[in-house]
A and B are shown apart, each in its own frame.
Chain A
Amino acid sequence: MIVMKEMNISDYKHILVYAEIKDDKVIGTSLELLGEATRLATALGNNTEVWAALLGNDQEKYATELFRFGAQKVVVCNHTSLNVYRSDLFGEALTQLIRKYKHETVLVGATYAGSELAPTVAAKLKTGLAAHCNELKIDENKKFIQVVPAFGGKVLGDILTPNHRPQMATIKSGIMQKIEPIDFIGVVEHFECDLSSVGNKIEVLAVHKESTGRKPLNESDIIIGGGFGIGSKEKWAQLEEIASLLGGATGCTRPALDEGWTQGEHTMIGTSGVAVKPKVYINFGISGAAHHTCGIKDAGLIISVNKDTCAPIFDASDFKIVSDWEKIASALIEKLNS
């Protein structure tokens, strides 16, 4: 076991956002985290800077986008081995980067890769990591607090990392806000990582890309949600029709996803799925367990339809409709078609 070196907390400064690249651009989540980092840096004061890290090949080209959305410094770590994501190589590279620059706080988007990269780095650095944070705060003592959901979102808890650095957090997409893009070019720094110690215990065999060709859920202004109460794939089609008539997308809960009626895992809304903030969320046949409502709490207007008057979804809704969902859905389709 590797022994932890004594950390001198005052050596650590600034906030680092790991910038993940997909389809040749910086993912929205990383830009949202830059926005949050900007707000945190302002709250901390003391000349705290917002940095971003890029790992891969020829990553400089993404720096401009990062500067537009809040980065003041961008560290680029290019290495031929970093062409495809691999937990061991990316973990080692980011760890070395942080060891060199000693960021006080590191934010990583809770994507599939990020959710693996962050704990890997936290373990290598023997530091603390809070996952799927709902909120990040600076308290009156300038302490960094991470707010995480537990028990499927029924409860929120504060997490602090008092004696270890960096303080790390992963955050899902749609939770934080991007800043309005600004005209700014900052400093690009190149970092050379040494991956010779990593070895070849993992080998990339193939990369499979599925073109979903569909807007990610949190880019829709209106989302139609469906749950187990829908009953069948044939009936689910009515939700798709409503979404289509309104120019929106459909979302679902886990039970509906498991039944195979929905557009897929990426449309599952909840603590283990996506968080969404549409202008309007209309849902049918969803009971509204905490882990789902946690994912919709920031929606503009929530209209819920369920035949059970005691369904918990109504506590989280602006409009409550107690009815057999099909009656409302077909009336709505008729109205929208007329």
Chain B
Amino acid sequence: MNIAVCVKAVPDSKYYDKISIDPATRMMVREGIPTVISDLDKHALEAALALRDKNQGKVSVFTMAPESALDNILEALAMGADEGFLLSDRAFAGADTLVTSYTLAAAIQAKGPFDIVITGNESDDGSTGQVSAQLGEWLCFPHIMNISALVYSENALNVTALSEDGSIDYKMALPAVLGVTRKLNKPRLTNIMGMLKAKSKPLTVLHYGDFPTDDNYLGLKGSPTQPGAIYAPKMSRKTVELTGTPEEIADRIVQELCKAGVRH
């Protein structure tokens, strides 16, 4: 069973306040800010590793990012993945989700065939939650996201997808694409042996031209959505500090509740 996992390298949230924006290109300036594997993608990786452990096969990790993300692919290899591919080229930069999923799909097709493609439902930074469905469309594989449970049996996947008031169980024929949620599993911790083995596993950087692509669907130029102005959200409230004993503060809170009309 060959499983492809798409992993996104996102800025470490500890350093969000160090992010700056280039006013000319309106793109984020990323140098110097360490990246980590997006949280839900770790759950995707865990799902892939669990399937491989049970069914024999190979887990390949794909990331589209600048070369600094090689560290993150190493992390995925340390966690247990068998090989990694970094799609890295100026030609790919500035891609929106449609084009990102196109580029990933093209690489997956070139390095395949794969039976299952898994990614996190959404990433920590952009949180669009669009890549898994669009990957499915580009690859012409059935795709389902919001997955909270997953069982492989007899060349098909039985999955549970969340909905507001419960869930729906589906059966998917392979090959298929999945977008997973936190509920699915608990990602394994990388241990020392894994860390030591990571550097000797195959890790390839794929540049523009290393796999067949159509220029119309690459990079900022190929993206239907284009970024505009970037700004900080306005949180303009004049904050008043309440001091005193807890009883005095509680009195004041109730006063404000009455003023706001929720208590009489």
Contacts and interface: CB of A to CB of B under 8 A. Distances in A.
**Direct touch of chains A and B (CB < 8 A):** yes
Nearest to A4: B216
Contacts of A272: 122, 127
Contacts of A279: 260-262
Secondary structure call for the B interface: mixed
B256 A319 contact: yes
Contact of A151 (B26, B125, B235): B125
A282 B229 CA distance: 33
A120 B231 contact: no
A143 B233 CA distance: 22
A11 interface: no
Contacts of B229: 157-158
B144 interface: yes
A160 B19 contact: no
Contact of B237 (A127, A280, A317): A317
Interface residues of B, number: 82
Contacts of A335: 247, 250-251, 253-254
Interface stretch (A38-46, A55-63, A182-190, A295-303): A295-303
Contact of A318 (B97, B130, B238): B238
A150 B124 CA distance: 9
Contact of B231 (A156, A208, A334): A156
A85 B163 CA distance: 10
A154 interface: yes
Given A126-B98, A152-B124, A320-B241, A280 B260 contact: yes
Interface of B: 11, 13, 16-17, 19, 21, 26, 96-98, 101-102, 122, 124-131, 133-134, 136-138, 141-146, 158, 161-173, 176, 179, 214, 216, 223-233, 235, 237-242, 245-247, 249-251, 253-254, 256-257, 260-263
Interface of A: 1, 4, 22-23, 84-88, 91, 111-113, 115-116, 118-120, 122-124, 126-132, 134, 145, 148-164, 200-212, 221-222, 246-248, 266, 271-272, 279-280, 282, 290, 293-294, 297, 300-303, 314-323, 327-328, 330-332, 334-336
